[in-house]
Amino acid sequence: MKNKPTPIRYTTTAISMHWLVALLIFAAFGIGWYMTGIPGLTPQKLKLFSWHKWLGVTIFALAVIRVTWRLLHPAPPLPPGIPRWQQQAAHLVHQLLYVLIIVIPLTGYFYSAASGIAVVYLGLFKMPMLIEKNDQLKSILGPMHVWLNYLMAAIVVAHVLAALKHQLIDRDGTLGRMLPFLK
């Protein structure tokens, strides 16, 4: 049986940014989901809202860096033999994820601003209020922020399942391009 060639890995910077942003998104999603289930306006809920916003600002900043890095350092080619439709699907999923890691924090920030609530990063730096309080905009941005997060969660699940399929069924080394300890 012929050995398959080892796919070219992403750069260490790309791998680090991928996993850091993924971890922060997972944390922000979990906190967001938990905090919205707390009834009323408690000190604990307010603290979680602050943490959620801090994560959102951090994710946005890292996303800008990550997208810039990606534009300057194209992704390595996919392993040979992957059907064209799967290559196109992977490309589409990655583009959607890049858009969402930028747009979701923005919808959260603008939802906060439309609610008349400033974002104070780490409790130290007040972010500029780019829009005034606006109840109509608030009623659009709140649900938009939530549904975009659910869309991202669904896309991430598909992304993970595809990566596992390539690792466990196809055994083509695709997952090893983003996990440094896999060969």
DSSP 131-174: S---HHHHHHHHHHHHHHHHHHHHHHHHHHHHHHHIIIII--ST
Angle at 46 between CA 18 and CA 17, to 5 degrees: 10
User: Mean pLDDT throughout 24-41?
Assistant: 96
- Say if 183 falls within a structural domain: no
pLDDT at 6 over 70: no
Other CB atoms within a 10 A radius of the CB of residue 43 amount to 7
- Say if 21 falls within a structural domain: yes
- Say if 1 falls within a structural domain: no
Give me the CATH number covering residue 134.
1.20.950
- Say if 131 falls within a structural domain: yes
- Say if 26 falls within a structural domain: yes
- Say if 7 falls within a structural domain: no
pLDDT tens column, 140-163: 999 999 999 999 999 999 999 999
pLDDT tens column, 36-89: 999 999 999 999 999 999 999 999 999 999 999 999 998 888 888 889 999 999
Q: Report the distance separating Cα 102 and Cα 161, nearest Å.
A: 23
pLDDT at 34 over 80: yes
pLDDT at 10 over 50: yes
Residue-level pLDDT at 1 = 42
- Say if 94 falls within a structural domain: yes
Query: What is the residue range of 66's domain?
Result: 12-177
Residue-level pLDDT at 78 = 85
Q: What's the number of domains the chain is made of?
A: 1
109-130 per-residue burial string, b: 16 or more CB within 10 A, e: under 16: bbbbbbeeeebeeeeeeeeeee
**3 pLDDT tier (thresholds 50, 70, 90):** low
pLDDT tens column, 89-139: 999 999 999 999 999 999 999 999 999 999 999 989 999 999 999 999 999
Residue-level pLDDT at 7 = 59
- Say if 137 falls within a structural domain: yes
Span between the terminal Cα atoms of the chain, in Å: 18
Residue-level pLDDT at 146 = 97
Residue-level pLDDT at 26 = 97
Q: Report the distance separating Cα 25 and Cα 98, nearest Å.
A: 12
Q: Report the distance separating Cα 170 and Cα 173, nearest Å.
A: 8
